[in-house]
Structure 1
Amino acid sequence: MPAPSNAAGAAAPALFFDDIRCTFVSKDDRSQRYTAVADTRLAIAPGEFVSVVGPTGCGKSTLLNVAAGLLEPSSGKVTVFGEPLKGINRRAGYMFQAEALMPWRSALDNVVAGLQFRGMADGEARALGEEWLARVGLAGFGDRYPHQLSGGMRKRVALAQTLVLDPDIILMDEPFSALDIQTRQLMENEVLDLWSAKKKAVLFITHDLDEAIAMSDRVVVLSAGPGTHPIGEFTIDLPRPRDVAEIRSHPRFVELHAQIWGVLREEVLKGYQQQKKKV
């Protein structure tokens, strides 16, 4: 991938991985090193929805943590709208795969936590939080605690918690993988509806190729580790708006799935063999 253009008037990428490498030292034997990500160049344009797919354990989440500023790469750099990323990415919101709600706080209190941390007045924060709960279909549920909500409802609270901060970049790490297929499709459509309203840059990590194609403008395929890196990029030229269930029957969806799986399949087999060796 060429470096982002510096031509006058050209918009800098919302997020750019410039020759990123992430090498870890074993805590048991410091002479042992493992390179999770190697020589990775990837740009996400403002307003672009990009999904990254790859074998289990290949380093997808490592890239997302680098984008969030939670992990500093061993070499290379990350830029955010043309500026070098130093520390936490303040222009990004991060929706984790694991449950991230505070169990002692109500749904509304979870949603407004970030706003309060930023110093917003309590009344204003709570009004905005109620607005976002309504946007994700949870009007009237603000006083419920996480244990009183279904898995899908908790994911909706987490989505509101991320988007209420109005981030310029949205990072999502397999956020719906634990949900049943019906709830998952509802949440995917919810995300697409909210994304289309403001067109933020999205970096979406998933192991589900169908999900990646149904939601994205572009799908990036990563190689099996160690030293994962992009080995294929595919423009998803399906019409929008999309329903993630209905779009799967579109002839172009079937073509794209076959093309991407042709690249991904061998890497998944490599990753499977590597996982077997570790057992």
Structure 2
Amino acid sequence: MAAAIELRDVTCTFVSRDAPQRRYTAVEGVTLTVAEGEFVSVVGPTGCGKSTLLNVTAGLLAPSRGEVRIFGAPLAGINTRAGYMFQADSLMPWRTALGNVMAGLEFRGTPPAEARALAEEWLRRVGLGTFGDRYPHQMSGGMRKRASLAQVLALDPDIILMDEPFSALDIQTRQLMENEVLALWQAKRKAVLFITHDLDEAIAMSDRVVVMSAGPASRPIGEFAIDIPRPRDVAEVKMTPRFLELHAAIWGVLRDEVLKGYQQQLRQAA
């Protein structure tokens, strides 16, 4: 399959405005590919640059070195072929659920009647068909995540970028949302780059899991194909022997990096 996302030798170095001599390299020499229709998760310690890679792919951040290619073409500016689901709620509080899902379509120039019909359809698909008139403060955390998901998918992006989208949810709601995403992905087969701290989540959802080293200058240090048959239920798959084997293998690579990251945080706090 053709590559939807190609990161080639990407390095991101940040320079302090107050002290230009102070530099911090978040990621260094990262090469990563996501094929069309592939679901790839990136895991690693806190502060290893996972979100930096997502922002580079979205075109929100230009790499200091290296190249980003989207479906074979160099990325210049915002990645218009990607939809981004953030960790924090991205809903506008003054708009209803329906209004929030319509917003991106309206900004893109979709006629109002068509935008409304698409937004209503996607609210139904994520289980919010009767909640279109609710404002964000009137919705539960799970409902807000469903509305955010509909907001992204209504634009029909070729690439979906997800930055720990379910981390704030309780475990039952989280599993429901994970299965919802897998069902929608199975139907559309978009390229997905998924960032998570949760190794169980990464294995249960992905075709491939990439492990990042502890920062600074983080880089991929392991890559694992998840050969568990689909479709999957994220709760049930965790009890299978193959899941446990993969978890042990990936954690064997990840464990030392998590400890390194933790020690670095302690030194910074001292």
Specify if TM > 0.5: yes
1:198 is matched with which residue: 164, 179, 188?
188
- 1:76-119 alpha-carbon deviations (Å, 9 max, x no partner): 01000000000000000000001110000000000010100111
Structure 1 residue 12, shift from structure 2 partner? 3.0
User: Secondary structure at the residue paired with 2:223?
Assistant: strand
Amino acid at match of 2:225: T
Q: Unaligned regions of 5+ residues in structure 2, if any?
A: none
Q: Secondary structure at the match of 1:202?
A: strand
Aligned match for 1:179, one of 169, 184, 193: 169
Give the C-alpha shift of residue 30 in structure 1: 1.1
Does 2:102 match 1:126? no
> Which residue in the other structure is 2:225 paired with?
235
Correspondence list, 1:109-148, <5 A: 109-148=99-138
Q: How does 1:145-160 map to 2 (within 5 A)?
A: 145-160=135-150
Distance 1:188 1:27 in 2: 40
Q: CA deviation at 1:187?
A: 0.2
- For residues 29 and 166 of structure 1, the distance between their equivalents in structure 2, rounded to whole angstroms, comes to 43
Q: Does the alignment pair 1:108 with 2:98?
A: yes
Counterpart residue type for residue 87 of structure 1: G
Distance in 1 (alpha carbons) for counterparts of 2:110 and 2:32: 35
Structure 1 runs of 4+ with >3 Å offset: none
- What residue number does 2:62 align with? 72
| 1:226-273 deviation digits (Å, cap 9, x = unpaired) | 001100000000010000000000100000000000000000000000
Match of 1:271 among 258, 261, 265: 261
* Equivalent position SS for 1:102: coil
* Counterpart pick for 2:244 among 249, 254, 265: 254
Letter of the structure 1 residue corresponding to residue 137 of structure 2: H
Query: Matched residues in 1 for 2:154 and 2:141: separation?
Result: 20
2:52 counterpart of 1:62? yes
Q: Deviations over 1:124-183 (max 9, x none)?
A: 100110000000000111010000000000000000000000000000000000000000
Query: Identity across aligned pairs (percent)?
Result: 75
Quote the residue 2:77 is aligned against. 87
Which range moves more in the overlay, 27-36 or 184-193?
27-36
Q: Which digits, 9 at most, give the CA deviation of each residue in 1:177-234, with x for residues without a partner?
A: 0000000000000000000001000000000000000000000000000001100000
The Cα RMSD (Å) is 0.6
Give SS of 2:254's match. helix
SS in 1 for 2:267: helix
Secondary structure at 2:218 match in 1: coil
For normalisation by structure 1, the TM-score amounts to: 0.96
2:86 is the alignment partner of 1:96: yes
Equivalence for 1:8: none
- Helix, strand or coil for the counterpart of 1:14? strand
Distance 1:262 1:27 in 2: 39
Question: Displacement of 1:28 after TM fit?
Answer: 3.0
Q: How far did residue 278 of structure 1 move? A: 1.1
Q: Secondary structure at the match of 2:165?
A: coil
Structure 2 counterpart of 1:153, which letter?
M
| Corresponding residue SS for 2:3 | coil
Please say if 1:21 is aligned against 2:25. Answer: no
